[in-house]
Amino acid sequence: MAVILKYIVAGLVRYWLIHTDYWQTLSNRVEIATPLNSWKRLIEGIYLYEHKINPYEGDSFHESPLLLIFFYGVLKYTPYLLPAIFTFMDILTAYFLYKTASIFVKVFKNSQRKISENIATDSKTLLLSDSQLKEVPEYVLSVYLFNPYSVLNCVGMTTTVVQNLLLAVSLWGSVSGHRLLACAFIALATHQALYPVTLIVPLSILLADESKGCNKCSYIRTLLVFVVCWGFLVYISAYIMDGSYSYVYNTYGFILNVPDLKPNIGLFWYFFTEMFEHFRLLFVCAFQINALILYIVPLTLRFKDEPVLLATVLIALSSIFRSYPCIGDVGFYLALLPIWKHLFNFMQQKFIVGCAFIITSALGPTVWHLWIYSGSANANFFFGVTLSFATAQIFLITDLMFAYLKREFTLKHGSSRLVDGKPAKLVLR
């Protein structure tokens, strides 16, 4: 009953805020809307399409043709349902995250039972009880439903709401062992925003763990299904655009090349504003390699036994380093953190990161107003806040990974610390 009440309250809050006078302001905020997910730009693209003009010929519309057709149909036949549709999609995202956490808890309980004999005696207290594990899905649900980042993202009616739903369904499909469902939805998310392509690695590991056959065969099947689904979506999108693949440059090309340097909460816009043009290609490649490729292999090698943690970290890193991030991306991966509640005792940066999140979230709009409206600040002030926000997120993710390693070491070797047979002491001189 309490879970249902959370859905109702969160849904009503979102639905009410969309109908307030603040909706227009929120939908244009740089923290919420980007050139990729802006509702205003989507409306413009739909208007052009409705009047038989290719929306990808200009530089204002960068969504996938599938979303273009979907919202074109909604606006044409049931425009009054738009607030309800966005609210429903966000609540559905929370539901699938809840189901994902519930399945993960069962898997974690079984794995904990298997390794219980190899755990050091003084580390037995670190094992989680059934009551502690039972709380995890509800924490995940609550964090997503009532996180201000997620709420504002939905109220701003950004297409990140759709992307979050696709990611949530793909995670649920992978932990449930539904290969086609997981691959189809991660292909949809990739088709919309490109960066979710990195998740095919943890999803392949999860699906291989669920299958009872050869792991290598499972990896190959997952990759093939994903490639076929993605290729089919590219073909369908070209069919929608009268057989033209020109949309690819204004979707994938726009994400990779970063031509629009409107400020956002990311790191790209300031660097490329200040950079000499003849260095641009070098740094575009460096930044995109950092966002798409750099961390996959080392993190997979270290966390291959915890694919859900690997997925969480990769989602977080892509949210930090993608070319056009927004707070909706941040709100999604924050909702996954309660799955790792048992690691919180091993994390050392919780207070610092929490304060940084609060301070930067308050300073961002303030400095933006001083820069754009009052003229008493400049771009350096706003970038300083966004850089601090990104740093706080990096501290959070690295702290989470180190906490996992610390807990793993403690379970195996015990919690006592001896040097030459005596208790270790830290002495400051």
Asked if residue 286 is part of any domain, the answer here is yes
Quick one: average pLDDT of 211-224? 80
Write phi, then psi, for 161 (nearest 5 degrees): -55, -45
Asked if residue 347 is part of any domain, the answer here is yes
Distance, first Cα to last Cα, the chain: 57
Give the pairing type, strands 418-419 and 422-423. antiparallel
Q: Rounded mean pLDDT of the chain?
A: 89
Q: Look up tokens 């991306």; give the residue.
A: 329
Quick one: average pLDDT of 322-348? 93
Tell me how far CA of residue 325 lies from CA of 30, 96, 174, 299, 364, in angstroms.
10, 23, 25, 22, 14
Segment 160-181, tens digit of pLDDT: 999 999 999 999 999 998 999 9
Asked if residue 428 is part of any domain, the answer here is no
In whole angstroms, what is the distance from residue 67 CA to residue 222 CA? Answer: 25
- Cβ(196)–Cβ(318) under 8 Å? yes
Helix (H) or strand (E) holding 367: helix 350-369
C-alpha gyration radius of the chain: 23
Give me 4's structure tokens. Answer: 């249902």
Quick one: average pLDDT of 290-307? 91
Segment 207-216, tens digit of pLDDT: 987 776 567 7
Other beta carbons within 10 Å of 119: 17
Asked if residue 422 is part of any domain, the answer here is no
C-alpha 279: how far from its chain's center? 30
In whole angstroms, what is the distance from residue 392 CA to residue 427 CA? Answer: 30
In whole angstroms, what is the distance from residue 387 CA to residue 353 CA? Answer: 13
Report the number of distinct structural domains present in the chain. 1
pLDDT of residue 424: 58
Long-range contacts of 1-10 (CB under 8 A, 24+ apart): 2/138, 3/98, 3/138, 3/141, 6/141, 6/142, 6/145, 6/146, 7/91, 7/94, 7/95, 7/145, 9/145, 10/90, 10/91, 10/94, 10/145, 10/146, 10/151
Asked if residue 429 is part of any domain, the answer here is no
Asked if residue 255 is part of any domain, the answer here is yes
Give me 172's structure tokens. Answer: 């649920």
What pTM was estimated for this model as a whole?
A: 0.94
pLDDT of residue 428: 46
Weakest mean pLDDT among 2-11, 259-268, 403-412: 403-412
Segment 260-287, tens digit of pLDDT: 999 999 999 999 988 888 889 999 999 9
Asked if residue 426 is part of any domain, the answer here is no
In whole angstroms, what is the distance from residue 203 CA to residue 106 CA? Answer: 18
- Cβ(418)–Cβ(424) under 8 Å? yes
Q: Can you give the residue range of the structural domain that contains 283?
A: 2-412
Asked if residue 419 is part of any domain, the answer here is no
Q: State percent of the chain over pLDDT 70.
A: 93
Quick one: average pLDDT of 292-308? 91
